[in-house]
Amino acid sequence: MAALNPISDWQLHCARRTILQGGVIAYPTEAVWGLGCDPWNVDAVTRILELKNRPMEKGMILVAASVEQVRFLLDPLPEALQFNAQSHWPGPVTCLLPDVNQQIPEWVRGSHSSIAVRVSEHPVVKALCESVGMPLVSTSCNPAGREPARNALQVRRYFNEQLDWIVPGALGGNRKPSRIIDIVSGRQFR
């Protein structure tokens, strides 16, 4: 059962409650620790931007537990683009999807007409997204210009008491953050 639910029910409950109440969490991902929140909560997203000293214009990534959680972004796209994105998931690849119907708020999308989306296979990320029933904001857990946190101690050093919850768990096996690929042009950004 531990493999299916990598964090305790209590930890998951606390993280879920924190997210749904507009809080900001830190959690392990495939390669680095991430900061996350409800992408439709402008106050929570603004807090993350302030913590990181990151301009809103840059935009942020959405991470999901399954393709179904981001189906609303895929359905308006031509089948070839849907297939292209889905061929990278689940896994450590972030796809830039055209936000055709502007369904993602500008405070997440930034100044872009596309949205960065990843369907994760990391068990903690999947458990979090499944528990809240939606994708989450996912951005590296670090102030701008600093290396992303690779353990909970570094998370605390960066943000100490500024976070609402730190979800326990281990990083996945990746050494680098997810690749970012524009599914329209095929261009790789990271």
pLDDT for the residue 178: 76
* Domains by residue range for the chain, with CATH: 9-170+177-182 (3.90.870.10)
CA distance 43 to 81: 32
Rg of the chain on CA atoms, in Å: 15
Can you list the residues of the chain whose pLDDT is less than 70? 1-5, 190
- The pTM of this model reads 0.93
The β-bridge partners of 114 are: 98
Quick check: helix, strand or coil at residue 165?
strand
13: number of Cβ within 10 Å: 12
3: exposed, middle or buried (Cβ count in 10 Å: 0-12, 13-18, 19+):
exposed
pLDDT for the residue 156: 97
Could you read off the pLDDT of 1-42 as tens digits, one per residue?
234 457 899 999 999 999 999 999 999 999 999 999 999 999
pLDDT for the residue 109: 96
Query: Which has the closest alpha carbon to 35: 50, 55, 21, 17?
Result: 50
**How high is the mean pLDDT of the chain?**
94
Specify the DSSP element, H or E, that contains 66.
none
pLDDT for the residue 36: 98
pLDDT for the residue 6: 74
pLDDT for the residue 108: 97
Residue type present at position 174: N
